[in-house]
Amino acid sequence: MSEDPAEHCRIVRLSGDAGARVFEQCAALHMAAITDGFMTRLGTGFLTEFYRSLASLPDSFVLVSMDNGAIDGLIAGSTNSRSLMRRAVLRRSWRFAPHLLRFMVRREFLKKITETIAYPSKSGFDDLPDAEILNFAVSSGKRGKGLGRQLFAALVDEFKARGTRRIRIVTGALQDEANAFYHRVGAGRVGDVSVHANSKSLVYIYEIQ
Ligand SMILES: CC(C)(COP(=O)(O)OP(=O)(O)OC[C@H]1O[C@@H](n2cnc3c(N)ncnc32)[C@H](O)[C@@H]1OP(=O)(O)O)[C@@H](O)C(=O)NCCC(=O)NCCS
């Protein structure tokens, strides 16, 4: 069997009624790959519901690569990320409540949740595209072999099919692999933003050809 994971991977778009196990795998991959993100701190239960919401909403989607039934890569996007967190989390709050209750007594978390929901309304974002890459991860043993490129190409096709021509990308300044990736695929850096205090993210635009 080939050692190159990109050779035999299968990329599929998840539907909202996919089994719970699928969204648990997305959450587990997210937790393992994006270790310093705020959402990671909210835990597997929150992320499981979050990916289910993204797969259910009409203007967002989750693409995953599968190898022998196991998810080894994911990329999620939205054509309108400005109000996405409100729609994904607040309007389905009964699903998220059990996973958020333990954080509700902690001011720091409430502040960060509010900042995460509000950040697309920050000044300077008005001129940026509404479409955004929400999350992107390849499992650690399969990086550097072209799987990320395949997922990114599938995301571009999905956006194209939805009529999107420009994509916003916001990623942590310290996420070296992701920044190298976006630079390599030709995304143009247009600025910086602080979603939370003491954290810098880099903002890119990718123009779909
Ligand atoms: C970002 C990520 C998804 C890329 O996936 P990947 O499968 O390793 O990417 P690929 O192998 O398809 O690489 C694509 C290009 O990016 C470049 N690249 C990827 N990782 C790189 C690194 N660490 N340093 C330099 N260049 C890198 C490759 O050289 C490649 O260019 P080429 O095709 O011209 O040779 C993966 O590194 C990852 O999951 N990182 C942790 C999670 C993360 O930071 N997510 C993004 C924020 S939400």
Per domain, the residue ranges of the chain are: 5-207
pLDDT at position 8 is 53
pLDDT at position 1 is 40
The count of other CB atoms within 10 Å of the CB of residue 152 is: 21
Question: Closest Cα to atom 18, ligand 1: which residue?
Answer: 181
184 lines ligand 1 (CB under 6 A): yes
139 lines ligand 1 (CB under 6 A): no
Question: Closest Cα to atom 10, ligand 1: which residue?
Answer: 146
* SS3 call for 18: coil
> Exposed, middle or buried, 16 (CB in 10 Å: 0-12/13-18/19+)?
middle
The count of other CB atoms within 10 Å of the CB of residue 188 is: 12
- For residue 6, the CA-to-ligand 1 centroid distance in Å is 13
5 lines ligand 1 (CB under 6 A): no
Write out the two tokens for 25: 């795998």
Cα-flanking dihedrals φ and ψ of residue 28, to 5°? -65, -40
| pLDDT (average), residues 39-49 | 91
106-126: burial string, b at 16+ Cβ within 10 Å, e else = eeebeebbebbbebbeeeebe
What CA–CA distance (Å, rounded) separates 185 from 146? 12
Of ligand 1's atoms, which has the minimum distance to the CA of residue 137?
39
| pLDDT (average), residues 151-174 | 96
Question: Closest Cα to atom 31, ligand 1: which residue?
Answer: 184
* pLDDT per residue as tens digits for the range 169-203: 999 999 999 999 999 999 999 988 877 777 888 99
Of ligand 1's atoms, which has the minimum distance to the CA of residue 183?
16
Average pLDDT, the chain: 88
- For residue 135, the CA-to-ligand 1 centroid distance in Å is 13
59 lines ligand 1 (CB under 6 A): no
Of ligand 1's atoms, which has the minimum distance to the CA of residue 149?
12
- For residue 183, the CA-to-ligand 1 centroid distance in Å is 10
Q: Return the biggest CA–CA distance within the chain.
A: 52
Instruction: Provide long-range contacts, Cβ within 8 A and 24+ apart, for 98-107.
Output: 98/45, 99/42, 99/43, 99/45, 99/46, 99/49, 100/42, 100/46, 103/42
38 lines ligand 1 (CB under 6 A): no
| pLDDT (average), residues 29-33 | 97
Which residues contact residue 177 at a Cβ distance below 8 angstroms, ignoring those fewer than 6 apart? 143
* pLDDT per residue as tens digits for the range 86-132: 888 877 888 888 887 777 667 777 777 777 767 666 656 678 899 99
Question: What pLDDT band is residue 157 in, cutting at 50, 70 and 90?
Answer: very high
Q: Which CATH architecture has domain 5-207?
A: 3-Layer(aba) Sandwich (3.40)
